[in-house]
């Protein structure tokens, strides 16, 4: 696999699986009682729990014949279509109110993991179908993107763009990206 394909796959997987993380970060950053560094730490811990679970799950699926691995791309495609159907059926895109707590890092970590099923769905087939050096490359890329994602959220929150961001229906974007990830996995890219 050429690295530009791997970068495209990694970016698509990260963005599609972490739009909810961006919304969580923006919601917490909108509350002045939260320290932005605690939001970063909570999201890093939660994200890496999900990546490690995805990696372990991918490694435990070694019994699937190599030629059949690409068909695991159907998982994010189906997930994308479910999200798309949910988008079509619903008429509103409301954010859930998040209450502040004294244990900010733990709260954000738990929320990140709790909303991370899409991370596991996106990353497991990717890790299963990649060579070890590609997985290491993705780990490094995800580490950089996690911090960059937080900086983007910080930038947006400081410019009062929360209302504009929340007006975009993120479920539609996530569903399209998940379908794209699954298609790339099936194609073997």
Q: Phi and psi for 61 in degrees, rounded to 5? A: -95, 25
Over residues 64-93, mean pLDDT: 65
pLDDT at 180 over 80: no
Over residues 176-187, mean pLDDT: 71
Nearest to 174 by CA among 12, 49, 44, 53: 12
Q: What is the per-residue pLDDT for 29?
A: 78
Percent of the chain with pLDDT over 90: 10
87-139 pLDDT per residue, tens? 677 655 544 444 445 578 887 887 777 767 778 888 888 888 888 999 999 99
Q: Please, are residues 153 and 23 in contact by the beta-carbon 8 Å criterion?
A: no
Which of 16-20, 70-74, 80-84, 128-132 shows the lowest mean pLDDT across its residues?
70-74
Over residues 71-100, mean pLDDT: 62
**All structural domains of the chain with their residue ranges:** 3-187
Q: What is the per-residue pLDDT for 181?
A: 66
Over residues 39-68, mean pLDDT: 80
Say which residue the tokens 């890790």 belong to. 127
- pTM for this entry: 0.66
Q: What is the mean pLDDT of the chain?
A: 76
- Name the residue with higher pLDDT: 182 or 37: 37
Q: What is the per-residue pLDDT for 174?
A: 58
Percent of the chain with pLDDT over 70: 69
pLDDT band at 144; cut points 50, 70, 90? very high
Q: What is the per-residue pLDDT for 189?
A: 53
The gap between the terminal CA atoms of the chain, to the nearest Å, is 6
């Amino acid at each position: 696999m050429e690295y530009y394909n791997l970068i495209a796959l990694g970016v698509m997987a990260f963005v599609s699986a972490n739009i909810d993380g961006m919304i969580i970060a923006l919601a917490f950053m909108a509350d002045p009682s939260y320290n932005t560094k605690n939001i970063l730490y909570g999201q890093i811990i939660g994200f890496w729990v999900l990546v490690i679970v995805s990696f372990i799950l991918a490694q435990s699926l070694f019994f699937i014949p190599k030629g059949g691995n690409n068909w695991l791309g159907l998982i994010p495609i189906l997930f994308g279509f479910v999200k798309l159907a949910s988008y079509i059926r619903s008429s509103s895109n409301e954010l859930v109110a998040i209450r502040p707590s004294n244990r900010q890092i733990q709260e954000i970590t738990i929320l990140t993991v709790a909303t991370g099923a899409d991370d596991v769905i996106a990353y497991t087939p990717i890790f299963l179908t990649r060579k070890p050096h590609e997985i290491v490359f993705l780990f490094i890329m995800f580490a950089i993107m996690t911090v960059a994602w937080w900086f983007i959220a910080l930038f947006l929150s400081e410019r009062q763009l929360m209302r504009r961001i929340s007006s975009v229906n993120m479920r539609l974007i996530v569903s399209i990206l998940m379908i794209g990830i699954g298609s790339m996995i099936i194609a073997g890219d």
